Amino acid sequence: MTELTKENIKHRKLPLSRVIFRVIAITIGAILMATGLEIFLVPNHVIDGGITGISIMLSHITGWELGIFLFILNLPFVYMGYKQMGKTFAFSTVYGIIVLSIFTSFFHPIPAFTDDILLATLFGGMILGIGVGLVIRNGGALDGTEILALVINKKFPFSVGQIIMFMNIFILGAAGFVFSWDRAMYSLLAYVIASKAIDAVVAGLEETKSVWIISDEAEEIGNAVNDRLGRGVTYLKGQGAYTGDNKKVIFSIISRLEESKLTTIVEEIDPSAFLAIADISEVRGGRFKKRDIH
pLDDT tens-digit series, residues 197-217 = 887 787 544 467 889 999 888
Please name the residue ranges forming H helices in the chain.
Answer: 6-10, 16-35, 50-62, 66-85, 87-107, 117-137, 144-155, 160-178, 181-202, 218-229, 259-269
pLDDT the model gives residue 291: 58
pLDDT the model gives residue 206: 46
* 269: Cβ contacts below 8 Å, ≥ 6 apart: 215, 217, 220, 221, 224
pLDDT tens-digit series, residues 273-283 = 899 988 776 66
Query: What is the amino acid identity at position 94?
Result: V
- Is residue 235 helix, strand or coil? strand
**Total Cβ atoms within 10 A of residue 117:** 15
Closest by CA position to 32, among listed 118, 137, 116: 137
Overall pTM surpassing 0.85 (yes/no): no
Compute the distance between CA of residue 2 and CA of residue 222 in angstroms, rounded to an integer.
13
Compute the distance between CA of residue 273 and CA of residue 158 in angstroms, rounded to an integer.
34
pLDDT tens-digit series, residues 112-138 = 888 899 999 999 999 999 998 898 888
**Total Cβ atoms within 10 A of residue 228:** 23
pLDDT the model gives residue 83: 76
- Is residue 62 helix, strand or coil? helix
Q: Which residues of the chain have pLDDT under 50?
A: 1-9, 204-206, 294
**Total Cβ atoms within 10 A of residue 283:** 14
42 DSSP 8-state letter: G
- Is residue 161 helix, strand or coil? helix
Helix (H) or strand (E) holding 246: strand 246-255
Domains and CATH numbers, the chain: 16-202 (no CATH), 206-280 (3.30.70.120)
pLDDT the model gives residue 70: 92
